Amino acid sequence: CLCFLSPRGTTHRFLRTPKMTAPPNLTHAAPQHQRFLVLFDFDETIINENSDDAVVRALPGQQLPEWLRNSYREGHYNEYMQKVLVYMAEQGVSEDSIHSAVEKIPPTPGLLYLFQYLQSHEQDFELAVVSDANMYVIETWLERAGVRHLFRKIFTNPASFDVTGRLVLLPFHSHSCCRCPDNLCKQVILREYLVGRQKERGGAPFQRVFYIGDGANDICPSLALGPRDTAFPRRDFPMHRLLLEMQQSQAAMFKANIVPWVSGEDIVDCLKKIMEER
């Protein structure tokens, strides 16, 4: 079980306090007309490392051979990870070993505190994950953290164990975006989700959209945000650096507010101010 990261400056441990539990009769859809949509990346946003690195540590030697590492091609990471998982199965890495490695991944500082805040205001916030990781890893970690029930939807690459015990990874979709890897475009997902949810909500759009990320592939969905929305780039990570460059050279392209964060508590501070505007 995991602990919440609440008061600033406190040292927190990952493995020790009760999990957050879903209120009775709560489905992932929760209230019908939440005002705000919060989208999370996963690797190095919710968790404090790349989940694939944690999976690889389940290998007996805890690292990949050089020939396999060198097989990666730019823009084809999903294809590369498929080969990695085949190799791991050939080395006898079990589902239990991968499951255990994933559960040990630490959360990013303050993110569990952010989840605690969002759960306490579930009538206002709808949550979803948009990630180029995979479904097995994300669901395993969120379940372990006791926060899976907070998320209405997880958009990521399908992954599950087959009858031979191998974790099989597939691409999420195909698309025509030139900015994104061929297996997943987060902006396509965001736009389709907003259109679909507005129909399901009887034509009512979200008042604001918040996007929390860290990586270069979090720029593309952020470009779809409007002037009332907010992009939360993790400070000094690629998303933050690229947004700073964009503000200087292509300011008109980016319409949303930008709030860099170091801890989930920074995001909570911003959300509290927005909540006070009601």
Q: Whole domain around residue 124: which residue ranges?
A: 36-49+107-159+174-276
Q: Is residue 10 part of a domain?
A: no
Q: Is residue 13 part of a domain?
A: no
The number of domains in the chain is 1
Task: Tell me which of 6-20, 126-140, 165-179 is least confident.
Answer: 6-20
* Mean pLDDT, range 7-24, rounded to an integer: 46
Q: Is residue 215 part of a domain?
A: yes
Q: Is residue 180 part of a domain?
A: yes
Q: 3-state secondary structure string, the chain?
A: CCCCCCCCCCCCCCCCCCCCCCCCCCCCCCCCCCCEEEEECCCCCCECCCHHHHHHCCCCCCCCCHHHHCCCCCCCHHHHHHHHHHHHHHCCCCHHHHHHHHHCCCECCCHHHHHHHHHHCCCCEEEEEEEEEEHHHHHHHHHHHCCHHHEEEEEEECEEECCCCCEEECCCCCCCCCCCCCCCCHHHHHHHHHHHHHHHCCCCCCCEEEEEECCHHHHHHHCCCCCCCEEEEECCCHHHHHHHHHHHHCHHHCCCEECCECCHHHHHHHHHHHHHCC
Please check if 214 is assigned to a binding site: yes
Name the amino acid, one letter, at 212: I
Contact in structure between 214 and 41 (CB atoms under 8 Å): yes
Q: Is residue 3 part of a domain?
A: no
What average pLDDT does the structure give for the chain? 88
Residue 229 has pLDDT above 70, yes or no: yes
Q: What CATH number is associated with residue 205?
A: 3.40.50.1000
Q: Is residue 129 part of a domain?
A: yes
Q: Is residue 209 part of a domain?
A: yes
Residue 126 has φ and ψ, to the nearest 5°, of -100, 135
Confidence of residue 32 (pLDDT cuts 50, 70, 90): low
Whether the model clears a pTM of 0.75, i.e. scores above it, the answer is yes
Please check if 269 is assigned to a binding site: no
Please check if 53 is assigned to a binding site: no
Q: Is residue 72 part of a domain?
A: no
pLDDT in tens, 76-88: 888 899 999 999 9
Residue 15 has pLDDT above 90, yes or no: no
Structure-token pair, residue 13: 């441990």
* pLDDT at site 21: 58
pLDDT in tens, 66-120: 999 999 988 788 889 999 999 999 999 999 999 999 999 999 999 999 999 999 9
Catalytic annotation on 41?
Answer: yes
